Amino acid sequence: MITRLELGFVLACAGFPACQGSHGDCGSYVDGESLFLQDSNNYSFHGGMDISSAPVAEMQDILVDWSGLSVDMVGHDLDPSVDILTLELVLFRYLTQEQVEQGLEDDDLNQSDVALFASTETNGSTSAYLSELNVLAYSFDPETYLQQDYGTWLLLLTDDLDYGVGTRMALFLEPVVAESNTRVEVGNDSMVLDVEAIITDLEKVELPQDEPEVTVDWTALEYDSRGNDLVMSDIDQLTVAHFANLTLEEIQASFLDIELLADQMWSAGIESGSSLRLSALGNDSGSFTGVDSSGTWLLSLNCTTCSNPAPLFLTVLEPCSSETDKE
């Protein structure tokens, strides 16, 4: 269903003291301090979304109840009264449910696709009426807008107060003239994400051990992991993850749990540009100090505001030593 992409790399070193003559086993370096990423370095990803649809009475106020929600769309545990911060309702006036699902999978929905956006903060509650949602400074009026054949209505439960960010669960609402139902329950199976990712059997990116002063440069990338044109401005985070006791095969089998399985993760936000020095990465324990020979190391470029949570780019880092170190 998806094309396997082999990971390759281009590393360069000229006038870079950390790799001049001392990292003979670590590839061929040019351009000083940069590790250049190419499309051939990227993993392959396909994620299908299955969002349930709930028939409701048209032009009636609907109670949305998520008190029974215990896991999110990728199966991660959540507390509905703590982890769900906003309830959002989006109207796609001229898109079908299937087109919305596909757009979410490909992360290519446009602002022009959205005809109406309403939301409310949950404040610890696990239910809310649609009339409690706000459209800018006005209350949403379901008796006016919630009509059959008026478009596709999508409910979103998120863990972020910023609109459209941090979706944990979703459900389509389908207003029907002859329907009397005025209550919907958002459950664990309201939205399911089916993922296929290939990160095994790859040519790994060699990186000198204990060397954080390397700049990662992704200027040459043209496509994301799904084969879509890469929008550089979507990349807002670089992360390195270390898995002390897991193989690539084990990580691939539980790809959606990468953040939970990692023993350590170091990240840095990217406000602009297409390069970042690895020493800028950090976590609660401190700054990133480089890779070593233990376990498995992954580097990813992420879009934290995209509807699809999968990294836009992900590769495997292979720690390597100099000939001098081996003697």
The full set of domains in the chain, from first to last, is 10-43+199-326 (no CATH), 47-194 (2.60.40)
CB-count burial class (<10 Å; 0-12, 13-18, 19+) for 305 = middle
The percentage of the chain sitting over the pLDDT mark of 70, rounded to a whole number, equals 88
Q: Which amino acid is at 264?
A: Q
Residue 107 has pLDDT above 80, yes or no: no
Task: Provide the percentage of residues in the chain whose pLDDT is more than 90.
Answer: 65
Element containing residue 100 per DSSP (H, E)? helix 97-106
Mean pLDDT of the region 49-56: 95
Instruction: Give the Cβ contact number of residue 162 at 10 Å.
Output: 10
Query: CA dist 287 to 181, 199, 268, Å?
Result: 54, 26, 10
> For the whole prediction, is pTM greater than 0.85?
no
In one-letter notation, the amino acid at residue 321 is S
Nearest CA-CA partner of 27 in 12, 8, 38: 12
Strand partners, 233: none
Return the SS3 of 218: coil
Q: Is 229 helix (H, G, I), strand (E, B) or coil?
A: strand
The pLDDT tens digits of the residues spanning 193-231 come to 888 899 987 778 888 889 899 999 999 999 999 888 999
Residues in the chain, overall count: 327
Lookup: tokens for 131 = 């009339």
Buried b vs exposed e over 140-151: b needs ≥16 C-beta within 10 Å? bebeebbeeeeb
Instruction: Identify the CA nearest to 265 among candidates 246, 282, 247, 248.
Output: 282
